[in-house]
């Protein structure tokens, strides 16, 4: 029987190696599904990588919902970048790192531990027609099944293509932080696309080690809009049925 891979442990091994290696900081293209999920992922990874968030989510089939989510992503990145600027000023002045949250500044262990790098964002094209075409014939598929797996690949393939085109060292996704997403399938698809495009996949299971709980805490701290469905018409329909 094949052993179950511990993707979080694999990630920690890579991060430890990067921390001990005296070389240029690698660039990471981080596909993000939303601000709440990316909050912890960016907090966790930003002292190891120069992160560019790639916001590409054609599965969000209502444009108003899409615009709301992408603006929250940009707002959160602005907050994190202000933290990075304060860290740099504090370092130059011999002060501790500080965190910006609800208006009160307080020391933060991660910010004191190492440099915080600025985060960039690339907003992909909003093309829900691509998702709906991909989902054709799978409209009645159970949530978390084959339709979702194809949606993973649709978004990760675009991420891998961009990572190859722009010369990123790694690519990965925030999707593994969700207890409702299949982390093993996401890592399987990411690994396969890495071989296809010749860009390293950063394995992850961000929900582990309290990651999901931390994302909830950060969402509350920064007042992030936290949606109750993944974005597509099918998941919204299921949420409405479950709520009723």
Summarised one tens digit per residue, pLDDT across range 95-151 is 544 444 444 444 444 444 468 999 999 999 999 999 999 999 999 999 899 999 999
Query: Between 3 and 148, where is the model more confident?
Result: 148
Query: Would residue 53 be called left, alpha or beta, if left means φ above 0 and alpha means ψ between -120 and 50 degrees?
Result: beta
Residue 92, pLDDT score: 66
| Global confidence as pTM | 0.89
Tokens in use for 76?
A: 């959160």
233 and 63 Cβ atoms separated by less than 8 Å: no
51 and 174 Cβ atoms separated by less than 8 Å: no
Per-residue pLDDT band for 1 (boundaries 50, 70, 90) equals low
Query: Between 6 and 99, where is the model more confident?
Result: 6
Q: What is the Cα–Cα distance from 126 to 69, expressed in whole angstroms? A: 12
Strands 200-201 and 27-31, bridge-based pairing? unpaired
Tokens in use for 102?
A: 């609800």
200-209: pLDDT as tens digits: 999 999 999 9
């Amino acid at each position: 029987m094949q052993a179950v891979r511990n993707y979080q442990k694999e990630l920690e091994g890579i991060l430890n190696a990067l921390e001990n290696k005296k070389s240029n900081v690698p660039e990471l293209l981080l596909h993000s599904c939303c601000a709440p999920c990316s909050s912890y992922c960016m907090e966790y990874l930003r002292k190891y990588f120069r992160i560019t968030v790639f916001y590409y989510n054609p599965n969000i089939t209502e444009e108003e919902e899409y615009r709301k989510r992408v603006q929250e992503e940009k707002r959160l990145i602005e907050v994190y970048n202000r933290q990075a600027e304060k860290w740099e000023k504090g370092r130059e002045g011999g002060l501790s790192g500080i965190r910006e949250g609800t208006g009160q500044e307080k020391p933060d262990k991660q910010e004191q531990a190492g440099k915080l790098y600025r985060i960039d964002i690339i907003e992909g094209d909003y093309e829900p027609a691509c998702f709906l075409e991909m989902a054709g014939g799978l409209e009645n598929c159970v949530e978390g099944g084959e339709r979702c797996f194809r949606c993973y690949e649709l978004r990760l393939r675009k991420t891998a293509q961009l990572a190859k085109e722009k010369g990123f060292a790694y690519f990965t996704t925030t999707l593994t932080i969700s207890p409702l997403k299949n982390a093993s399938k996401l890592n399987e698809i990411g690994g396969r696309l890495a071989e296809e495009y010749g860009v390293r996949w950063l394995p992850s299971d961000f929900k582990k080690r309290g990651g999901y709980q931390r994302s909830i805490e950060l969402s509350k701290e920064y007042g992030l809009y936290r949606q109750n469905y993944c974005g597509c018409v099918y998941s919204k329909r299921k949420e409405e049925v479950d709520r009723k």
